[in-house]
Amino acid sequence: MLAIDVQDLWVRYGKFAAVKGISLAIPRGEVFGFIGPNGAGKSSTIKVLATLQRKFEGTARLGGVDIRQSPDRVREKMGYVPDSFGVYEDLTVREFLHFFAAAYRLPYSRRQAVVDDVLQLTDLAHKIDAQVDSLSRGMKQRLSLARVLLHDPEVLLLDEPASGLDPRARIEMRELLKALKEMGKTILISSHILHELAQLCTQIGILEAGKLVAQGSVADIYRRLSILRIVHVQVGGGPTDLADRLRGFAGVSQVDEQADRFAIRFEEGSLELEDLHDFIHGQGARIRMFQAEVMDMETAFMKLTEGITA
């Protein structure tokens, strides 16, 4: 069964359409990344799924439940984290989590254990009696994730969870999301920090001006767009015409000679990295560095979008 099933979704604000006929089918256990510029319709789509958008057209189901028919049942099945985190600054961490444990109607006898568990998972156990307003932004973000885990929802809806976090907090967040992925949660996450989604998501959807311009796995999208992968190689010794020999190697599209290295480009799927390594070694060159560049999501994004906002 699909965790999220959206068909022909339209969201309008007056005469302005923020979302124009989006369809999504996200199986259980997937991590789906929503990428798009500001105003593309990411938050509006997530708000529909979080039962916070009263008026929309099309159908939207979460965990098999129609959002329009049974929003109260949908709220039991999902956890929503807005981009502002939505934390009560006047409470302590313990009070904050107990507040939402009561809001999610957890039995009182289980609450303490559940609160301890989610704090352990989010690495906030040592902050249990700290005032929320004394926490760093990264901690507040982890606390808001702890909040949505209290009732063990099937689906997590995370709207720009990494926005405004420093690099360490972003890495901690990414690791936490990986742990949730391993727990089998279905996660819909929106972000404009593209390479983070590439590392985490099993599927991505690129949204522009309210329309879904691409959807699929990261590799699928690279393949479809014919995006070249890059490997940086630094060698010692070897033949002087190594660059020309590399250009002649099957699968290599382009070789740039830089001051201390070669930048070798090839199409996804046309060449295995191990074969390239063996070829260079076979030419008598001693390899000092062999580094494949991280998937170039920015290029994919720029190719797919034209900078239009809805």
Partner 1 sequence: MLSQFHLPLLTRELIEQSNRRRTYVFRVIYAVALFGLTGWTIWSEVGEMWASGNRAILTMGIGRTVLDSVVGLQFAGIYLFLPALVCGSITSEKERETLGLLIVTRLGPWTILFEKLLARLVPMSGYLLLSLPLLAVARTLGGVSNMDIVWAAIVLCVTMFLVASFSLMWSVLARTTASALVLTYVTGAIFMLLGNWVVITAIEGFASLLTLNFTPTVYSSGPYPYTRELFMLQNSPQSTFLLGSFAFNGTVLFKVGRMTGAAPAGYLLLPSLLAAGSCLGIARWQFWRRAFPPAGSFIPKLLRWFDDFFHRINQNRLTRGIVLVRDKNTLPLFKPVAWRETVKKSLGTTRYLVRLLVLLELPLLPLVSMVLFDLIEGRQLILPRPAGVIYPVWFFAVLFVSVHATGAIANERSHQTLDVLLSTPLTSREIVSQKLAGVWKLCFVLAIPFATAILYELMTTAEASRPIMPMGTNPWTGQVYTQPVFRKLPHLFWSIASFLIYLPLMAWLGLWLSLRLASRLRALVTQILLTVAICALPLLFVSSLRGVMTIGSMVVVVISPLAALMQIELHSVPFDETTRTVTLAVNMVLWAGVAGWLRFQCYRHFAELAGRLDPVASSRVASAVEKPALEFEAVGEMG
Q: Residue 266, SS3? A: strand
Candidates 77-85, 167-175, 235-243, 277-285 — which segment interacts with partner 1 by CB under 8 A?
A: 77-85
Only one of the segments 27-35, 49-57, 179-187, 259-267 lies at the binding site for partner 1 (rule: CB under 8 A); that segment is: 49-57
For partner 1, give the closer residue by CB, 53 or 215. Answer: 53
Q: Does 82 bind partner 1 (CB under 8 A)?
A: yes
Torsion, Cα 209 212 216 217, to 10 degrees, reads 20
* Contact pick of 95, 116, 220, 267 for partner 1 (by CB under 8 A): 95
Between 108-121 and 93-103, two packed helices, what is the crossing angle to 10 degrees?
130
Instruction: Check if the beta carbon of residue 34 is closer than 8 Å to that of residue 189.
Output: yes
Q: Looking at beta carbons only, is 57 or 175 nearer to partner 1?
A: 57
Q: Looking only at residues 128 through 147 of this chain, which bind partner 1 when binding is defined by CB under 8 A?
A: 133, 144, 147
Question: If binding is defined by CB under 8 A, does position 72 make contact with partner 1?
Answer: yes
Residue pair 242/264 in contact by the 8 Å Cβ criterion: no
Rounded CA gap, 176 and 144, in Å? 12
Q: Is the distance from CB of 3 to CB of 27 less than 8 angstroms?
A: yes
- Binding of residue 87 to partner 1 (CB under 8 A): yes
In the list 7, 23, 64, 103, the residue contacting partner 1 (rule: CB under 8 A) is: 103
Closer of 84 and 254 to partner 1 (Cβ):
84
- In the complex with partner 1, the residue whose CB is nearer, 81 or 194, is 81
If one asks whether residue 88 binds partner 1 (CB under 8 A), the answer comes out as yes
Residues 6+ apart with CB under 8 A from 63: 3, 74, 77, 78, 154, 155
Residues 143-172 interacting with partner 1 (rule: CB under 8 A): 144, 147
Contacts of 1 (CB under 8 A, 6+ apart): 28, 64
Q: Among the candidate windows 19-27, 83-91, 252-260, 294-302, which touches partner 1 by CB under 8 A?
A: 83-91
Contact 127, 93 (CB under 8 A): yes
Quote the least distance from Cβ 211 to partner 1, whole Å. Answer: 18
How many residues sit in the footprint of partner 1 (CB under 8 A)?
A: 50
- Torsion of Cα atoms, 16 then 20 then 21 then 26, to 10°: -120
**Which is nearer to partner 1, 75 or 127 (by Cβ)?**
75
Query: Which 104-123 residues touch partner 1, going by CB under 8 A?
Result: 104-105, 108, 111
189: buried, middle or exposed (CB in 10 Å: 19+, 13-18, 0-12)?
buried
Residue 248: both structure tokens together: 């002649």
DSSP 156-171: EEEESTTTT--HHHHH
Q: Cβ closer to partner 1: 75 or 181? A: 75
Site residues, partner 1 (CB under 8 A):
10, 12-15, 18, 44, 47, 50-57, 67-72, 75-76, 78-80, 82, 84-91, 94-95, 98-100, 102-105, 108, 111, 133, 144, 147
